[in-house]
């Protein structure tokens, strides 16, 4: 995931020949403008950090493009959300999720299903999002997430974890206790004309670590940003071309706590292009190209080039 691989190239679970449940929730209205979502496995990105040109089905389609690489330590979880459409120009989303993710082994992760941890122990995330739409062509989204992250074997994080995008110890190989993180994010989409749009996001996160040794507490700081161009209805009605430049995780402080050192001072950046082309009402093809430089923030890593072509069947 750190290399921005195509979003839909993912397996169902951690073991061969198993059936996994990706989502299970119940959504119901309290009024015309207020809805509630509850369930044991809610998809965080169905409700937060959306973008008109970054939807993985027909927009920018890598893991690092269609949602913030820093935003939530709980991609899917057990809990509840409140969705409030305040008015035409304002929407508020608020939610709490305890970790319950289909691609993590339950014996180690997925604290929400562990009776000794439950909804409020282990890893969990509280998120608020305010969307301001000054016109039908512009959407501005402001997000804040507070994450509690359980230590695994005295370490915090994993190659797929957010907001850290890495593994941390006390800076000297010593063990850590549970961590906390604060993430601030902003994303926008702007339809400048019928055939041209702009989109982007910026995120900043601080992960607070607490050594079990006599080392002092520390903070790991990182940021992420993206800016892209969108061309709706290019060559055919319903088509969409997106081209973007993004930096998925740039460490600005606390690199000494990262097991890998957070790289060697380089900063990974990516150039991505995705073209969604509907062939019929039910069939579309989506070619995509990715160039990833300074992979994992090592400037001596070779540039990675990825070509991807998928066919989508919609029913």
Interval 10-20: pLDDT, tens: 666 667 787 88
Note the pLDDT of residue 4: 67
| Structural domain contains residue 313 | no
The answer to the question of residue 28 being in a domain is: yes
Given a cut of 70, is residue 180 above it in pLDDT? yes
What local confidence, expressed as pLDDT, does residue 160 receive? 58
Confidence of residue 81 (pLDDT cuts 50, 70, 90): very high
Position 6 in a domain: no
Residue 293, in any domain of the structure: no
Q: What is the largest CA-CA distance in the chain?
A: 64
pLDDT greater than 90 at residue 100: no
Average pLDDT of the residues of the chain: 89
User: pLDDT digits over 130-149, tens only?
Assistant: 999 999 999 999 999 999 99
Whether 183 is covered by a domain: the verdict is yes
Question: How do residues 227-261 score in pLDDT, each as one tens digit?
Answer: 999 999 999 999 999 999 999 999 999 999 998 88
Q: What is the mean pLDDT of residues 267-271?
A: 94
Q: Higher-confidence residue: 26 or 151?
A: 26
Banded pLDDT at 185 (limits 50, 70, 90):
very high
CATH, residue 218: 2.40.160
DSSP string for residues in 45-90: HHHSS--TT--TTTS--BTTTSS-TTS-S-SEEEEEEEEEE-SSSE
pLDDT at residue 110 tops 80: no
What integer is the mean pLDDT of 97-108?
Answer: 81
Give me the pLDDT at residue 243, please: 96
The residue range of the domain holding 150 is: 24-262
User: Is residue 310 assigned to a domain?
Assistant: no
The pLDDT confidence band at residue 97, using thresholds 50, 70 and 90, is very high
How many structural domains are present in the chain?
A: 1
8 A C-beta contact, residue 279 and residue 262: no
Is residue 123 included in any domain, yes or no?
yes
> From CA 282, how far away is CA 14, in angstroms rounded?
31
- Rounded mean pLDDT of 50-56? 89
Kindly state the DSSP code that residue 62 receives in the 8-state scheme. Answer: B
Domain membership flag for residue 8: no
Q: Give the model's pLDDT for residue 58.
A: 87
């Amino acid at each position: 995931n750190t290399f921005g691989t195509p979003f839909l190239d993912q397996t169902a679970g951690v073991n061969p020949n198993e059936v996994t449940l990706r989502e299970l929730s119940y959504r119901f209205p309290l009024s015309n403008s207020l809805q509630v979502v509850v369930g044991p496995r809610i998809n965080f990105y169905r409700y937060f950090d959306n973008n008109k040109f970054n939807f993985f089905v027909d927009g920018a389609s890598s893991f690092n493009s269609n949602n913030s690489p820093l935003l939530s330590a709980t991609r899917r979880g057990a809990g509840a959300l409140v969705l409030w459409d305040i008015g035409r120009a304002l929407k508020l989303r608020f939610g709490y999720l305890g970790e319950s993710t289909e691609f993590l082994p339950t014996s180690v992760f997925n604290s929400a299903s562990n009776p000794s941890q439950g909804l409020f122990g282990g890893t969990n995330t509280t998120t608020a999002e305010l969307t301001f739409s000054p016109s039908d062509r512009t959407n501005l989204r402001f997000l804040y997430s507070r994450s509690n992250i359980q230590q695994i074997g005295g370490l915090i994080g994993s190659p797929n974890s957010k907001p850290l995008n890495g593994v941390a110890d006390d800076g000297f190989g010593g063990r850590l206790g549970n961590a906390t993180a604060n993430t601030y994010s902003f994303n926008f989409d702007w339809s400048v004309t019928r055939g041209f749009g702009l989109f982007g996001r910026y995120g900043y996160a601080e992960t607070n670590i607490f050594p079990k040794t006599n080392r002092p507490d520390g903070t790991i700081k990182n940021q992420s940003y993206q800016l892209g161009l969108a061309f709706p209805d290019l060559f055919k009605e319903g088509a969409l071309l997106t081209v973007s430049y993004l930096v998925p995780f740039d460490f600005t402080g606390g690199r000494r706590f990262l097991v890998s050192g957070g790289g060697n001072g380089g900063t990974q950046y990516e150039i991505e292009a995705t073209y969604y082309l509907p062939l019929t009402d039910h069939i579309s093809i989506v070619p995509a190209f990715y160039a990833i430089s300074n992979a994992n923030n090592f400037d001596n890593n070779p540039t990675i080039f990825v070509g991807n072509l998928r066919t989508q069947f919609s029913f």
